[in-house]
Amino acid sequence: NIDYMEEMSHYFGSIRPYYKGVDKAEAYPNTEVYQHEMPGGQYSNLQQQAKMVGLGDRWNDIKKVYHQV
């Protein structure tokens, strides 16, 4: 169930900052790449670019449009 995996991904992503002093691994796995059919590297790059141009708060809309296109 992709929705359940996404819920768990958000949960673990929300608690990860508490462990940043001891956890040196890269960001947590993101299951949204399956729902939006976006490769992981492209997901993180596009998210960073959206933040850089002031669209970080519209990230959910951007993911939906990406999937539609």
From the CB of residue 18, how many other CB atoms can be counted at a distance below 10 Å? 9
Chain centroid to CA 56: how far? 12
Domain boundaries, the chain: 2-68
pLDDT digits (tens, 9 = 90+) for 16-60: 888 777 766 556 566 676 677 777 678 778 888 999 999 999 988
State the pLDDT at residue 26: 56
Q: Residue 40: its pLDDT value, please?
A: 66
Number of alpha carbons in the 13 Å side-chain half-sphere of residue 10 = 6
- Whether pTM > 0.85 for this model: the answer is no
**DSSP tally for the chain: helices H, then strands E:** 4, 0
